[in-house]
Homo-oligomer: A and B are copies of this chain.
Amino acid sequence: MLLAFSTWPEIDERLKSSRTVIIPIGSNEQHGPMGLLGTDWLCPEIIAHAAEKSGDLLIAPTFNIGMAQHHLSFSGTISLRPSTFMAAISDWVNSLARHGFDRIYFLNGHGGNVATIEAAFSEIYSDYSYAAEPCPFILKLRNWWDLPGISRLCAKLYPTGHGTHATPSEIAVTFAAYPDRVKSHTMEPQVAPNGPIRDALDYRARFTDGRIGSDSSLATVEDGQKIIDAAVAGLIDDIAKFDAE
């Protein structure tokens, strides 16, 4: 069930049987010379929407802009400051909790979001903790690549060149979902360098085409579909456990 394509009475009805909602969350940022700028929000959206077809899930609209300050030297990147990102997450959560959702699950597609999302959770919980009041909902963050089965699959598909940004796995997922958007590019060097992440100019100087440790050219539609399939199974499984908590 896609929340945005439902009516409010349908959500009311849904709440009678389940109080769990999944928010695909990512970032719109450079993904090297052949990865789509939307990769990090497209991946969790693709996986969540695919899972919705086979599982009994409720998917919120996609939170498509995240914390990507380090990518701002590359055109097309849109970033929220951590403080803004936290305020927005808080407003999403308080809106959904208002309706009675008590299990709010963020399916994340951007590693750079993790710290800020967790800080946002702590900020939200703080209101209850200072007031000595029980928090009426549970927040959970899951990166899609941490869903059960994914890391093993990626290690098998990409024994070398997976890296950590503009990875072949994430690009493959977008290619599988949008085969008319497949792009190719000669990687130079084949595998990008590694290094620390700091501000945007430093990033651009270290990672000249935007990739970190990856060979994006390994991405194929076929592998992308395998990853999606595994992630769908993993997500349905993970939500079942979350519901059962």
Contacts and interface: CB of A to CB of B under 8 A. Distances in A.
Interface of A: 3-12, 15, 28, 30-38, 41-42, 60-65, 67, 69-70, 72-84, 86-88, 90-92, 94-96, 98-100, 112, 114-116, 118-120, 122-123, 125-126, 128-130, 132-135, 138-139, 178, 181, 183, 185, 198-202, 210
Copies of this chain present in the complex amount to 6
Nearest to A205: B134
A39 to B, nearest CB: 9
27 contacts: A3-B28, A3-B37, A4-B36, A4-B38, A4-B64, A5-B178, A6-B36, A7-B32, A7-B34, A7-B76, A8-B31, A8-B33, A11-B37, A61-B64, A61-B65, A64-B64, A65-B88, A69-B126, A70-B129, A72-B95, A79-B126, A79-B130, A81-B91, A81-B126, A82-B122, A115-B116, A132-B200
* Shortest Cβ-Cβ A-B pairs, 3 listed: A4-B38, A129-B200, A115-B118
Contacts of A64: 4, 61-62, 64
Nearest to A101: B75
Contact of A36 (B5, B37, B42, B78): B5
A36 B5 CA distance: 5
Contact of A82 (B41, B81, B119): B119
